[in-house]
Amino acid sequence: MELRLDGKVALVTGASKGIGRAIAAAMAASGAKVMISSRKEDLLREAASSMEGEVEVFAANAGDLEQARACVDATYQRFGRLDVLVNNAATNPYMGPTVDIDLPRWEKTVQVNLTAPLFWTQFAWHAGMEETGGSVINMASIGGLSIEPSIGNYNVTKAALIHQTRTLAKELAPKVRVNAIAPGLVKTDMARALWESNEDAVAQHVTMKRLGEPDDIANAAVFLASDAASWICGHTLVVDGGMLL
């Protein structure tokens, strides 16, 4: 089955590196026109230069709602529509016992990981998706389905994002499908502290005996954005190599 996104326009947040970059590249390669966003324009332009197809950039802090609105508006101005929104940007400024987290880092985690996906979706809905339809993909985590004390605050936001995904799926259907992806441990800069020092030993705890690559998640995102997933709504797709087993 060939998955194509020809004629669709996608917007991917947190797309200058890691999973977001892989998703944007895969969607562009599948025929979509893609707007990529993250905080630093120079990194966005470097990422865009490595992708095939029509890719534009817009620098925005995902947690800044005015910048988020501007990015959505710029996508419509450049491409005339928006069919796929990927809420990928996330942060984890604290590692340690959840009971000891300070308020500023808690609020930052909630703002980027939970508040931002809601309002990016709201902006996309009111800007045009309400009329034309589309697909929203939220990047959750298997941490939202399990317990990992050292990143408990991050996982709480991902658990809430999974529930938010289901809530919005119910509200926005049938025009817009809202789904989530829950990756396992993927070899990204953000997760480097969890795997880099002893990758082989960590991989032995994964059923598939390897850690995830960004492309593993990108393939799932292309599927959920495509017409092949047209009857999938409110679902969280676990892509973890069997880690939860």
The token pair that represents 60 in the structure block:
């925005």
Please report the pLDDT score of residue 197 as a whole number: 75
Per DSSP, the three-state class of 80 is coil
Please report the pLDDT score of residue 188 as a whole number: 87
The β-bridge partners of 58 are 37
Distance from C-alpha of 36 to C-alpha of 55, rounded to nearest angstrom: 7
pLDDT above 90 (res 104): yes
What pLDDT, in 10s, does the model give residues 1-37? 679 999 999 999 999 999 999 999 999 999 999 999 9
Please report the pLDDT score of residue 199 as a whole number: 83
What pLDDT, in 10s, does the model give residues 198-227? 888 888 889 999 999 999 999 999 999 999
Q: For residues 31 and 5, is the Cβ–Cβ distance under 8 A?
A: yes
Please report the pLDDT score of residue 194 as a whole number: 67
Please report the pLDDT score of residue 66 as a whole number: 98
| Arch. (CATH architecture) of 9-239 | 3-Layer(aba) Sandwich (3.40)
- String of DSSP letters for 120-135: HHHHHIIIIIHHH-EE
The pTM for the full model equals: 0.96
What pLDDT, in 10s, does the model give residues 131-183? 999 999 999 999 999 998 899 999 999 999 999 999 999 999 999 999 999 99
What pLDDT, in 10s, does the model give residues 67-88? 999 999 999 999 999 999 999 9
Please report the pLDDT score of residue 189 as a whole number: 80
Does the active-site annotation cover 154? Answer: yes
Distance from C-alpha of 78 to C-alpha of 68, rounded to nearest angstrom: 15
Q: For residues 9 and 79, is the Cβ–Cβ distance under 8 A?
A: yes
Task: Name the residue with higher pLDDT: 186 or 200.
Answer: 186
List the domain boundaries for the chain.
9-239
Catalytic residue, from 58, 79, 125, 154: name it.
Answer: 154
Instruction: Give 196's pLDDT tier (boundaries 50, 70, 90).
Output: low
- Mean pLDDT for 42-57 is 97
